Structure 1
Amino acid sequence: MKKLFSILAAILLLATSVTNAQVLVRTLPGYVDIIPYQLAVGYYSTTVIAFPSPIVDADGGSSEIIIQQQENAENILKIKAAVKNFSKTNVHVYTKDGKIFAFNIEYQDYPSRTTFDLSNLTGGENPGTTVLLSSSSLSSQQLQHTADSLRTIAANYSRKKNRYGITLQLSTIHAVKNILFFGFSISNRTNLDYELDFTRMYIEDKKRAKQTSFQRQEITPVYIDPIEQIAADSSMRMVIAVPKFTIPGKKIFTIQFFEKNGGRHIQLTIKNKHLLKASKI
């Protein structure tokens, strides 16, 4: 009996020691924080931000906001709500001069301030945070030259979507360094001009199971052909470049085209097998 009590006492002592043991953790000191800017974004308006240097990449924390670089303006970023009353999220922007800008994003129906020029920031207001950028990225001139050379290449893909008299077809995929170039053909077989408002690209789950979260990863283009309109009964070729990626299992890559002041939105899904057949120049 005494032996049993000794064993129980030892177990109790061990349990008490484990409970009282301190778990060693290290907290990042406050002086390493990058202080984010507060930014309100609306569904009925577009927020435009001019950065002091060309944008290398932009990353949003939620698929409920749309992030897009302005065509032919490599230092301009546009942010818009994809849905109303989205939950608070954040955005990080990396610029060519080695800076990182952080933003806390919240929803407002009609933000009072929608246009910002960050080149006017003083030294104390500028984040001044240095990041190491990949040396394999293409310059804006190289992106433009590559897109020009790919726009006339014959189509070697037949994946397409028809809707409202608009046909969106994947024509080509090319890999250049760490960039994927997608060539599209857009045909308008109606008597109404099709005005392109913006495009959106993301990786998402193939199927959405009930009572499970639906994950969506936004892809920010580094180059988009500046096409604003596809005239009635006509076709155009368009090139979009994004950082190189592959698609995980059970996911698809989706690109959406939104009509300005209209509802003829169209989307096309691309599978990993298409990416793996990307050609080299």
Structure 2
Amino acid sequence: MKTPSGNMYQLRLSAQWGRKTIGLGSDRFFALNLALEVDESIEECRTKGKDVEIDSLKELVKSRRETTPPRVLKIVEKDDLAILWDNYVTFHRSKGAWEETYVLTHIKTVGSLVGKCPYQKLENKQEIVRWLFDDPKRSPATSKNRLKLIVAAIDWASKQGQISRHWGIEYRDLLESISIKTCQSPNDEDESNIEIFSVKEVYQILEALKTDCFSRFKGKHSQYYKYVYFCWLTGCRPSEAIALKWENVDLSKNNIKFCEGRVNASGQIIEK
């Protein structure tokens, strides 16, 4: 409805008692979300066999308009998993909750899976789980870890009021019901029994790198000799060795300070 001060949005309800109107305010996005919430309330009453009271609906809208600033709520298709995931990622990235390496590895990977998933309706939870776990390229443990992030997004959306709360509860219960059995092969060794290289073996490896005795092309292995030697002598991580700066090296005291790292995350170099 157009007014001298701008557009005003209304919700019109038709029933046996006639047409009723509820004012939703001037913000289009907020009004649409209020309309969705009223629709859910009516559907809930209908499912439970209760009468729909217009005064109760007006009170619901009034309370939301008083407590929720405009444009806080986002329009969400309740059955669209991809939109829920995008909202979840956007919110947490805006809050700085994740490191960039985590986003470029775990979040990006799961986002790609969500986009490819042929089942986008939340009602198809069994099909979503089956699709995740049927991929032979992923181990069951990896598939469950991917599902954990998807469930976290659904649970977050339900707590934010973007979808009904029961979805978050149902998916959390589903996740807890999935048990991953890990079978250890007889040939697998316990971590406590792993045999590390002896000093003699380390020098043999270094000599092989230095002389390129196992390299098909000259220079292919020898270029890593000093790098591997340095990592072995200091015990530092590869990412720490790559990020090391001269300002953190004190030759007079034979002291090296490792305080930075540089890693390759999905083709992007991240320093931390």
**Shorter-chain TM-score tier:** under 0.3
* Structure of higher CA gyration radius: 2
Which TM-score applies when normalising by structure 1? 0.22
Greater RCO (Cα-Cα under 8 Å, separation 6 or more): 1
TM-score w.r.t. the length of structure 2 is 0.23
Is the helix fraction higher in 1 or 2?
Answer: 2
The structure where strand makes up a greater share of residues is 1
